[in-house]
């Protein structure tokens, strides 16, 4: 794997001499060799970013000099970045959501954008259920009680008969529904972009967002951040059932985090499972001191299987574009 990366001193200031691929996200091929092997088999030179992920716009401009392809995580691929990299042919999102990539600017510069849809579905759906169970059954404080030499008992609700409201009913939302059905939960979902047939096929009732907010005992988010602020505002969180639970494995900007923390302190929201934050790491975030919140470091997609699948999927499409072929998972 190391032979694919250029020496750290290559290009003097760090610019690529091989005009190959710049990988900015440390999770690419972190637990799998297959993604690196795709580039090796194609004879494509690869180097990794010197700056810590996520890079700033300025850092990405400096490090992308001479690159034909970028493999990014949360780094901001802005119009300025694209303009500063005239040799760039393709940007690959190591994941699904492309909200950190200026798609219009990419199209204007003739740069293809690809992602890896479906590769982390199982991992994120599993993590959603793990956070839900840990939050409502208070697994973390129970563990701390035992390891701390105490024997405290923690009560929580059963999931059977509770209503799970799924916001965003794409691949991951549907996978969560299949898992929740095994816990005998009642399922409702909101996704204005899907036809009624999709909900019918999954046996899930389609509702409006307002109906979901009012009915859900547990609300789980599986969609990009909309323009205009958090999807779950203070007013919407307050409109949820007393004693409800919020799970977010999608994007940090979806929730008013200060309001959620306050409602956890008041008990109106009984529990939360949060894997993503508006600012990461979440230093000073009020959720850090909120009760009954299970917090994880944006790792829902971090399984060996997902890591291999995401990496090989985007690497294969990068190679296709560099060969002058059409990518399989084109966003732009």
Establish whether 89 is a catalytic residue.
Answer: no
What is d(CA 47, CA 239) in angstroms, rounded to the nearest whole number? 49
Q: Which residue of the set 201, 210, 280, 325 is catalytic?
A: 280
Compute how many other C-beta atoms are within 10 angstroms of the C-beta atom of residue 264. 22
77, two tokens: 């691929």
Q: Is 280 one of the annotated active-site residues of the chain?
A: yes
Q: Tokens representing 229?
A: 């602020």
The answer to whether residues 91 and 73 touch, using CB atoms and an 8 Å cutoff, is no
Instruction: Kindly state the DSSP code that residue 225 receives in the 8-state scheme.
Output: P
The helix/strand/coil state of 53 is coil
- To the nearest 10 degrees (0 to 180), the angle between helices 304-322 and 121-136 is 150
53 is catalytic: no
DSSP 286: G
Q: Tally DSSP H helices, then E strands, for the chain.
A: 12, 12
Nearest to 16 by CA among 59, 53, 62: 62
The two three-digit tokens of residue 302, written as one number: 């971090």
Quote the CA–CA distance of 196 and 200 in Å, as a whole number.
6
Q: Which of 47, 162, 222, 298 is catalytic?
A: 298
208: number of Cβ within 10 Å: 10
CA distance 225 to 97: 10
The one catalytic residue in 5, 94, 171, 251 is 251
Residues classed as catalytic = 251, 280, 298
């Amino acid at each position: 794997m190391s032979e694919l990366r250029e020496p750290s001193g290559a290009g003097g200031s760090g610019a690529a001499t091989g005009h190959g691929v710049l990988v900015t996200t440390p999770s690419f091929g972190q637990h799998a060799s297959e993604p690196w092997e795709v580039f090796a088999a194609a004879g494509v030179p690869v180097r990794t970013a010197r700056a810590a992920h996520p890079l700033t716009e300025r850092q990405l401009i400096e490090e992308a000099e001479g690159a034909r392809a970028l493999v990014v995580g949360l780094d901001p691929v802005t119009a300025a970045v694209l303009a500063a990299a005239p040799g760039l042919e393709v940007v690959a999102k190591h994941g699904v959501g492309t909200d950190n990539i200026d798609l219009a600017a990419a199209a204007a510069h003739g740069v293809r954008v690809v992602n890896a849809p479906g590769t982390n579905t199982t991992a994120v759906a599993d993590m959603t259920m793990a956070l839900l169970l840990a939050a409502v059954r208070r697994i973390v404080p129970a563990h701390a009680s035992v390891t701390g030499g105490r024997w405290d008992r923690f009560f929580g609700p059963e999931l059977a008969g509770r209503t799970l409201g799924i916001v965003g009913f794409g691949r991951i939302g549907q996978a969560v529904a299949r898992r929740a059905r095994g816990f005998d939960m009642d399922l409702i979902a909101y996704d204005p972009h899907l036809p009624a047939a999709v909900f019918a096929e999954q046996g899930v009732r389609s509702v409006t967002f307002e109906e979901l907010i009012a009915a859900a005992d547990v609300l789980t988010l599986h969609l990009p951040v909309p323009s205009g602020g958090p999807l779950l505002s203070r007013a919407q969180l307050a409109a949820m059932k007393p004693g409800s639970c919020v799970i977010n494995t999608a994007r940090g900007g979806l929730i008013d985090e200060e309001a959620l923390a306050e409602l956890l302190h008041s008990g109106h929201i009984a529990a939360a499972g949060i894997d993503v934050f508006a600012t990461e790491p979440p230093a000073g975030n009020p959720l850090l001191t909120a009760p009954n919140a299970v917090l994880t470091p944006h790792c829902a997609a971090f399984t060996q299987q997902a890591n291999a699948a995401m990496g090989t999927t985007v690497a294969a499409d990068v190679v296709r574009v560099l060969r002058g072929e059409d990518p399989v998972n084109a966003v732009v």
